[in-house]
């Protein structure tokens, strides 16, 4: 069993390297959505190529208010090879390595979290750490880009958002996701290489639908299907899939809002697909219906739907969206990956830290060096076992046990 020791420095406040302007900057309506007032930690790992400085913390200069930002460095006495494949959470002594012990925020600086949520884009930080005199893409503040129109027009988005706004999700009684404490749930990450994705894709019919589906669409559809079956929802229960989608220029679907790459406010748009559990669990057609729901939801992300979403979010004015009975699937393969270059070496893996009910899709290389997609899942223990069994059916490759099922590769 693997164990290791970490050494963590005392928190220090890094002040600006030169005077900064004292001014009030207004936020966008997407920034002000209460659901966005959260802090999500991400851990990334890089394989040294002989360029790693002795002091990997480096010398940082942060331009912000005179309050500065909290900085903590940590090191561990192990190598990346000890953690293959590099997905979170990591196994240790039958349990899980708690990455938050290394990178958690000091309690007495909790008030700084919401300020730091609006830091410049992550690639700008990598540029500075690599030694560039300024970010290659300069940060842009312009929050008016994602501010509600006058008068607002919410009709295009409201039908999809209505259950989240009004809380009328029709959640089943004794839903284990609501009754199980977060700390008592199992958090597992599943690796899908070319072989696994090809096996899952082969079940998507007809061929025209298969050709329309990206790898993300296939994985989102299959995991939603298996999760619904594992949770034991009644046939009439509505299952809602919620896909955050970047509105940044050049993003997969959101470039039409003309949000520049340097914009570092919240720029998440939302795709919501709805389907009855009975349609997902019907014999022979469940995966087709799940894939159709994903594709139909993505087609709704038109310029008017996006603008209408901003108008709708502005109308909430401090209220939160309700996510009971909603399966959130977030594709961060482009956010967390080898596009980051701190000048230390090749990106090797990483992901979101902590037990998040949302399912995150990230990338890593498996133990054989094959590029894989990592899908996180958080469910109560017993239901997690059912989820694995359901997933094994769709992978349907003989594992030598004679039952025609192969369990998915997992980090735990």
Is residue 108 among the annotated active site residues? no
- Crossing angle (nearest 10°) for helices 381-395 and 194-201: 80
The C-alpha atoms of residue 294 and residue 216 are separated, in whole angstroms, by 10
- 392 near 231, Cβ under 8 Å? no
Peptide bond preceding 312 in cis form (omega within 30 of 0): no
Residue 289's contacts (CB-CB under 8 Å, 6 or more residues apart) are 275, 279, 280, 282
- 369 near 194, Cβ under 8 Å? no
Residue 85 CB burial class (10 angstroms; 0-12, 13-18, ≥19): buried
Residue 237's contacts (CB-CB under 8 Å, 6 or more residues apart) are 170, 171, 172, 276, 277, 325
Element (H, E) at 243: strand 238-246
- 146 near 259, Cβ under 8 Å? yes
Element (H, E) at 272: strand 268-276
Residue 355 CB burial class (10 angstroms; 0-12, 13-18, ≥19): middle
Residue 59's contacts (CB-CB under 8 Å, 6 or more residues apart) are none
List phi, psi (to 5°) of 76. Answer: -135, 150
Q: Of 36, 109, 112, 355, which is the active-site residue? A: 112
Residue 116 CA, chain-centre distance (Å), reads 19
The C-alpha atoms of residue 219 and residue 361 are separated, in whole angstroms, by 9
Residue 56's contacts (CB-CB under 8 Å, 6 or more residues apart) are 73, 75, 344
- 374 near 124, Cβ under 8 Å? no
- Where do we find the tokens 């284990």? 176
Q: Where in the sequence numbering do the catalytic residues fall?
A: 112
């Amino acid at each position: 069993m693997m164990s290791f020791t970490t050494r963590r420095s005392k928190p220090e406040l890094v002040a600006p390297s030169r005077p900064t302007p004292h001014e009030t900057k207004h936020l966008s309506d997407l920034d002000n959505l209460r659901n966005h007032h959260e802090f999500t930690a991400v851990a990334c790992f890089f394989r040294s190529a002989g360029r790693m400085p002795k002091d990997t913390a480096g010398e940082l200069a942060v331009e912000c208010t005179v309050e500065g930002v909290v900085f903590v460095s940590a090191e561990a006495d192990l190598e990346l090879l000890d953690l293959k494949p590099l997905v979170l959470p990591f196994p240790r002594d039958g349990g899980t390595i708690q990455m938050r012990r290394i990178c958690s925020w000091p309690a007495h600086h909790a008030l700084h979290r919401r300020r730091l949520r609006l830091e410049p884009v992550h690639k700008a930080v990598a540029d500075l750490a690599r030694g560039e005199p300024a970010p290659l893409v300069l940060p842009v503040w312009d929050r008016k880009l994602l501010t509600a129109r006058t008068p607002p027009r919410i009709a295009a988005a409201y039908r999809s958002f209505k259950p989240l706004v009004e809380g009328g999700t029709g959640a089943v009684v004794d839903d284990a996701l609501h009754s199980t404490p977060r700390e008592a749930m199992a958090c597992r990450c599943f690796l899908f290489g070319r072989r696994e994705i090809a096996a899952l894709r082969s079940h998507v019919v007809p061929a025209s639908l298969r050709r329309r589906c990206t790898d993300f669409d296939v994985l989102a559809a299959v995991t939603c299907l298996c999760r619904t079956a594992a949770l034991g929802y009644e046939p009439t229960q509505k299952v809602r899939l919620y896909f955050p989608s970047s509105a940044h220029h050049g993003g997969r679907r959101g470039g039409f809002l003309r949000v520049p790459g340097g914009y570092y406010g919240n720029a998440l748009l939302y795709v919501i697909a709805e389907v009855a559990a009975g349609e997902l669990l019907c014999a022979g057609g469940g995966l087709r219906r799940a894939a159709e729901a994903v594709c139909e939801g993505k087609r709704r992300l038109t310029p008017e739907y996006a603008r209408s979403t901003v108008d709708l979010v502005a109308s909430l004015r401090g209220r939160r969206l309700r996510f009971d009975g909603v399966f959130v699937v977030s594709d961060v393969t482009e956010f967390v990956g080898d596009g980051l270059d701190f000048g230390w070496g090749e990106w090797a893996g990483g992901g979101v830290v902590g037990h998040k009910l949302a399912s995150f899709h990230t990338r890593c290389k498996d133990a054989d060096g094959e590029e894989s997609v990592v899908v996180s899942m958080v469910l109560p223990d017993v239901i997690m076992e059912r989820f694995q069994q359901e997933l094994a059916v769709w992978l349907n490759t003989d594992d030598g046990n004679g039952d025609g099922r192969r369990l998915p590769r997992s980090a735990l």
